[in-house]
Amino acid sequence: MSDNWIVLIPEDPQFVPNAEAQRRARDLFAEVAPEADDIEIKVSDTVQFFDCGANLERICCPSCGSEIPADCWQDHMDEDSDGEKGFKLASYPAPCCDKEHTLHDLAYDWPQGFGRFALNAKNPKIGRLEDKHKQEFEFILGTKLRVIYQHI
């Protein structure tokens, strides 16, 4: 058995929408994906990692486009994670061009990212989230969003 999630996170990892906006976004997701197994809001005091699971194919440098080796990325993940305090999202020089990026800034294919807020739909059965719906979520939540398709 495998599961699929659509996970919406703010592009700004520190951003947490207010409670009313969270509730409205959750209601919208229930309308957009009425057959979802579950719709869940996650809020934490610390920055957490939201991965795309088996959908991850490669990680590239956003400055020069070179692929970042998995072991290099893993080292930075270990260094950046502060146990219960979550991720610091410090900047690290890329091995290819030395330009500095946080782990959230890297070009993940498929997308994944970091944040303190997420809105998840488990097994939404809608394929890709339509752009018009993404824009509605962005309007309600007051932030640009990153859409993560997690496959486990």
Residues near Zn ion (CB under 5 A): 61, 63-64, 66, 94, 96-97
Specify the 3-state DSSP secondary structure of 29: helix
CB of 99 to Zn ion, least distance (A): 6
Cβ-proximal residues to 41 (8 Å cutoff; 6+ apart), any chain = 22, 26, 117, 118, 119, 120
CB of 114 to Zn ion, least distance (A): 20
Q: Compare residues 44 and 66 and give the one whose CB is closer to Zn ion.
A: 66
CB of 146 to Zn ion, least distance (A): 21
Cβ neighbour number for residue 139 with a 10 Å cutoff: 13
What's the distance, CA 98 to chain centroid? Answer: 25
CB of 90 to Zn ion, least distance (A): 17
Which whole-number Å values give the CA distances from 36 to 20, 27, 114, 118, 141, in the listed order? Answer: 22, 12, 23, 16, 20
Q: Compare residues 22 and 63 and give the one whose CB is closer to Zn ion.
A: 63
Q: Compare residues 33 and 94 and give the one whose CB is closer to Zn ion.
A: 94
Q: Compare residues 30 and 97 and give the one whose CB is closer to Zn ion.
A: 97
